[in-house]
Structure 1
Amino acid sequence: MVVTILVFTLLAWGLADWNLPTALLLAAGLAPTDPVLAGDVQVGDPNEGQEDVVRFALTAEAGLNDGMAFPFVYLAIAVAQPTFSLSASLTHWFLYDLLYRVGVGVLVGWLSGRLLSYLIFELPQRISIKTTAYGFVALAVTLISFGLTELAHGYGFLAVFVAAITVRNHERTHEYHTYMHAFSDQIERLLIALLLLLFGGAIASGLLESLTWPDVVLAVLLVFVIRPLGGWLTLAGTGVRGLKRWVIASFGIRGIGSLFYIAFALHETSFMSPQRIWALTGLTILISVFIHGVLSTPVMNRLDRRFRRRV
């Protein structure tokens, strides 16, 4: 993600006539990945014992991205301020927006995960909790984790991700994980269907009308060149090779998170050509949803066949 942000910022600033704050915002908003929009690249049901490195890497990356993209969004907001001072603003960004907010997100996420683990694995031994309520208990504590972290000015997305990992590492074979996966999968599909419907309506209403040809080139480069090559290079030394390495590098799916980051930044301060920002963001998501959505099933099926033959 960091490599993608750096390269995309330089290209948008130098080749597409975006000013530096807006180029950085676009990079920070479009760099995070979102495999929710291509279900076949997500991890499977818990306790199956057949998880592969590709699905795990893409899902884990997306979870981390949701929290770690925010410091760069805040950096773009800081650079866009009329009173921007290089030394003072960068110091504040590094100490507060990066170190403090990330630290609070990790700490509150861990504490929330511990609390959630108690509610799920310890409390039912003392009082009666139906298994059908597991999903709602987890959803409630997830929202509390997000809310408390945001109240402490941390990154709520990162806190929820850390909380989920903490719960998963406690009683790994418990039936709760199966119930929770089924519950969250249903909620996820329902909300994504609604958001994609609204996204399609926005496109039909003229979302892409402000596009320029340099913006089209940027969107194509991000999906087909910057992310795949950056991902392939940063996987060096991980032991992942061949087709698996290229699949992890290439499936940098852009999704709903990008819309949130852009909307948040535009609400905080003024950036160059907001309509053009939305147009480039919408085009990038549209290309990614179409290409990765079409390719996810055949690519993952091919990987599964190779894995089974090797086993």
Structure 2
Amino acid sequence: MPRGTGTAMPAPRLPRLLRQSTTTMSYHQFLLFAGAAIILAYWLPRFVSGREPAASALLILAGGLCALVLPEDPPLFRPIADPEWWEILSEMAVIVALFATGLRLDVVRPFARWGVTWRLLAVAMPLTIGAIALTGLAAGFPLASALLLGAVLAPTDPVLAGDVQVGPPTEGGEHPVRFALTTEAGLNDGLAFPFVYLALAAIAGLTMTEAGEWLAYDLVYRILAGTAAGAGVGWLLGQMVFRWPAGNALSATGSGVLALAGVFVSYGLAELIHGYGFIACFVAGLVFRRIERDHAFHGDLHLFNLAIEHALTAVLLLMVGAALGTYAADVRLVHVAIATALVFAIRPLIGWVSLAGTALPPRERFVTAAFGVRGIGSLYYLAFAAGMAPVAMLADLWLVVLVTIALSAAVHGLSAGAVLAGIRADEEPGPAA
């Protein structure tokens, strides 16, 4: 205070642009932690095995540590209260992955190759939904919430199971186990949607008339509409990229962004006509690949899609770990028990039974049954349902899903190397097989 004055000088203040709220600091700290965690998760496994499957589990673990060290949890860590970003990010990750999954398949004929896939979709998936729903009822969930839990956890993941699925376009090596797991993951993300809508209808009070409408509209029309939209977009995009105009085809540009454009168009068109966009994206990638099947441009598109897919998945896995860290005190034994039952008992047993009578040898039949990896699709479905209806025991549903994804990433990710070693000797020789 200057001499001769009776008032204190005001304390110096930082310029407005240099002041940051606690929330902003937490956000920037999250960015720092997330970037470092992703680098380490992909780098550290190289010291052990030279593979990346452990990255999924490491990212979830890093997310949990992030929630513990940040002074304030960002809303992104709390899907129960703020599911919007979870729905948006997981939706984008799934549709990109589904188009890429269809694009990777080298050989789709003879159609007898799909026999195992149809067993997994038509037999194993509904039985899995029913078994999870019964488990949820036994754990005290209301009927509608138990059914929603079954529908949400039914789809296998086209991203996290990539290590046991088919490789990039034209690489070959499409062993029947790889083919079955790839095509199952490509289709069941969309086929779970009717059961999610059935659970939402049950929450609102399903009548017999509405049940008939669900059967005709949600189960039949929307599947067919999604399939038609995807096939149409895939064929048209293939003509525009490879054949029109004949002397100056887009494929000569090597621009991978066309894959993302195909994802957006197929998904948007299917949703516009009330079809299932997830099915449309997989079918669009599958049909697009049939146009000039062995063209090198498919590899460019695959690499572009893969980069987006991995980036989104890494962020989502960090969010899963961060949410588990945030809600750690709320996780109960019942949540862990349901997740454990699905990963170690429900999927392997139902998968094994559903594949009875197929040509798969016992070892390959077991691998196909056991590797029902749960992941990003489950996050999307639950976030979607939470925004559509007041779901009873929503917090418990989120905790079961988060624990299941973490458990599946750890168990399936760490065992993928041994599984690959077991089936590698039987790989098919290449795409012309």
State the alpha-carbon separation in 2 of the partners of residues 94 and 126 from structure 1. 48
After alignment, is 153-162 or 295-304 more displaced? 295-304
Instruction: Tell me the TM-score normalised to structure 2 length.
Output: 0.67
2:292 aligns to what? 171
Structure 2: stretches of 5+ with no match in the other structure: 1-124, 429-433
2:410 aligns to what? 290
Structure 1: stretches of 5+ with no match in the other structure: none
2:131 aligns to what? 7
Matched, 1:241 2:364: no
Conserved? CA contact 1:109–1:163, under 8 Å: yes
Q: Could you tell me how far 1:124 is from its partner in structure 2?
A: 5.4
Conserved? CA contact 2:173–2:427, under 8 Å: no
Matched ranges for 1:184-263 at <5 A: 184-206=305-327, 208-263=328-383
Matched, 1:150 2:274: no
Conserved? CA contact 2:258–2:301, under 8 Å: no
Matched, 1:127 2:248: yes
Conserved? CA contact 1:210–1:275, under 8 Å: no
- SS of the residue 2:250 aligns to: coil
Aligned residues: 304
Say what the alpha-carbon RMSD is for the aligned residues: 1.7
Q: Could you tell me how far 1:36 is from its partner in structure 2?
A: 1.3
The C-alpha deviation readout for 1:224-269, integer Å capped at 9, x for no partner, is 0000011111112221122111111001100011000001111100
- Higher helix proportion: 1
Instruction: Tell me the TM-score normalised to structure 1 length.
Output: 0.93
Conserved? CA contact 1:32–1:254, under 8 Å: yes
Conserved? CA contact 1:25–1:73, under 8 Å: yes
Q: Could you tell me how far 1:128 is from its partner in structure 2?
A: 5.1
Matched ranges for 1:60-79 at <5 A: 60-79=183-202
- SS of the residue 2:171 aligns to: coil
Matched ranges for 1:14-33 at <5 A: 15-33=138-156
Q: Could you tell me how far 1:139 is from its partner in structure 2?
A: 1.4
1:269 aligns to what? 389
State the alpha-carbon separation in 1 of the partners of residues 339 and 264 from structure 2. 33
State the alpha-carbon separation in 2 of the partners of residues 152 and 306 from structure 1. 43
Matched letter for residue 299 of structure 1:
V
State the alpha-carbon separation in 2 of the partners of residues 306 and 130 from structure 1. 34
Relative to 1, partners in 2 of residues 1:280 and 1:85: Cα closer, same or farther, differing over 3 Å?
Answer: closer
Matched, 1:34 2:157: yes
1:102 aligns to what? 223
Matched letter for residue 397 of structure 2:
I
1:90 aligns to what? 211
Query: Which protein has the larger Cα radius of gyration, Structure 1 or Structure 2?
Result: 2
Relative to 1, partners in 2 of residues 1:225 and 1:115: Cα closer, same or farther, differing over 3 Å?
Answer: same
State the alpha-carbon separation in 1 of the partners of residues 418 and 206 from structure 2. 50
After alignment, is 30-39 or 270-279 more displaced? 30-39
Matched letter for residue 411 of structure 2:
I
State the alpha-carbon separation in 2 of the partners of residues 112 and 300 from structure 1. 34
State the alpha-carbon separation in 1 of the partners of residues 251 and 426 from structure 2. 41
State the alpha-carbon separation in 2 of the partners of residues 226 and 124 from structure 1. 52
